[in-house]
Amino acid sequence: MMRPPQPGANPRPPSGFVKRLRRHPLLLFALVLQAALVLLPLVYMLSTSFKLPVEVFEVPMRWIPRELRIENYIEPLQQRPFVRWFVNSTIVAVSVTFLNLVTSVLAGYSFAKFTYPGRNILFGFILATFFIPLEAFIVPLFILVRDLGWLNTYAGLIIPAGGNAFAIFFMRQNLMTMPNDLIEAARIDGASEPRILLSVVLPLMRTAISSIAIFCFMWNWNSFLYPLLVATQDAYRTLPIGLASFESAYSTNYPQLMAVSFLAMLPVLIVFFILQRQFIEAIALQGVKG
């Protein structure tokens, strides 16, 4: 962003950066304070995770622990199936995201570019569910999943979450702005409908697909109420549910609790830092498109 001054170049007035720094001192101060408030709980987590239980509530708080007790990170993994929960979270979030993408690209394309009767009613029904929180129909949903014999199965964790109203809405909006000419041209060339979707439409949806993928993955990775009900056995719990159960059972060992929480947070944070632009744009698009 900021170019270093070229040696031998004309002496320049203070760079834009310095000027900006001077122009907004109070704002900068406020933002630094806000950033500190955001980061504080996370630093606290990291710091506490290396302590002895008796050191946690020491006054004054010691931000740098006396010694780094790495055991806090290892012992919980031996006591409880955190690795399994991590694997479950990954399997479920990846599968649900994949299903969300397939169903939303197909349905979004169908609702945006086809004219069969009833399509608006179908879309209306799906969109309406976007405004109805899961919490409002969780009881019958649980009963349904139980009756299907899907409690404590991957099918139960994945399939009912396979449709995502927002993703469908988003894909439809995205495709509405795409000109029909390309599709018509492919039809005249005699391409079949699935082929048109795969070779003409899909390549143009790359950005929309990656936005929705990030969005759905984050959403499902953090999903709580539904897996809490469907996965009651350790073997099928996802990470957030496993953590919450660990918290209620081992809540007195705060350093260990912080250590596993930190571990659980790490993968998403790493993915976030790698893809931060896409993450933020995915959310931003949600507002602008909505």
Partner 1 sequence: MPRFRLSVRARQDAWGFAFALPAVILFGVFAVYPILRTFYLSVHRYSLVGTPEFVGLTNFRFILTDAGFAQTLRNTGFYALGTYGPVLVLALVMALALNTGVPFRNAFRVINFIPVVISWAIVAIVWKILFNHQGLINQFLGAFGIDRIPWLQSTTAAPWAVIIPSIWKELGFYTVIFLAGLQTIPRIFYEAARIDGAGRLQAFRFITLPLLRPILFFATIIAVIEGVKVFIPQFVMTGGGPSGATKVIAVSIYETAFAFGRMGRAAAMSVLLFAIVLVLTSMQNLVYGRDRS
Does 74 participate in binding partner 1 (rule CB under 8 A)? no
Q: And the tokens for 76?
A: 């919980």
> Do 243 and 264 meet the contact criterion of CB atoms below 8 Å apart?
yes
| Site map (CB under 8 A) of partner 1, residues 186-225, x = contact | -------xx--x--------------------x--xx-xx
| Site map (CB under 8 A) of partner 1, residues 99-118, x = contact | ---xxx-xx-xxx-xxxxxx
Question: Which amino acid, 255?
Answer: P
Reading phi first (left if > 0) and then psi (alpha if -120 to 50, else beta), residue 237 is in beta
Does 35 participate in binding partner 1 (rule CB under 8 A)? yes
With CB under 8 A as the contact rule, which of the stretches 3-11, 70-78, 79-87, 272-280 interacts with partner 1? Answer: 272-280
| Site map (CB under 8 A) of partner 1, residues 239-258, x = contact | xxx-xx--x------x--xx
**DSSP H/E element including 140:** helix 138-147
| Site map (CB under 8 A) of partner 1, residues 132-171, x = contact | xxxxxxxxxxxxx-x------------xxxxx-x--x---
Minimum distance from residue 262 beta carbon to partner 1 (Å): 8
How far is it, in rounded angstroms, from Cα 120 to Cα 69? 59
> Do 47 and 65 meet the contact criterion of CB atoms below 8 Å apart?
yes
C-beta closer to partner 1: residue 75 or 150: 150
Does 28 participate in binding partner 1 (rule CB under 8 A)? yes
- 136 Cβ partners below 8 Å, 6+ apart? none
Cα–Cα–Cα angle for 219, 224, 230, nearest 5°? 115
Minimum distance from residue 8 beta carbon to partner 1 (Å): 27
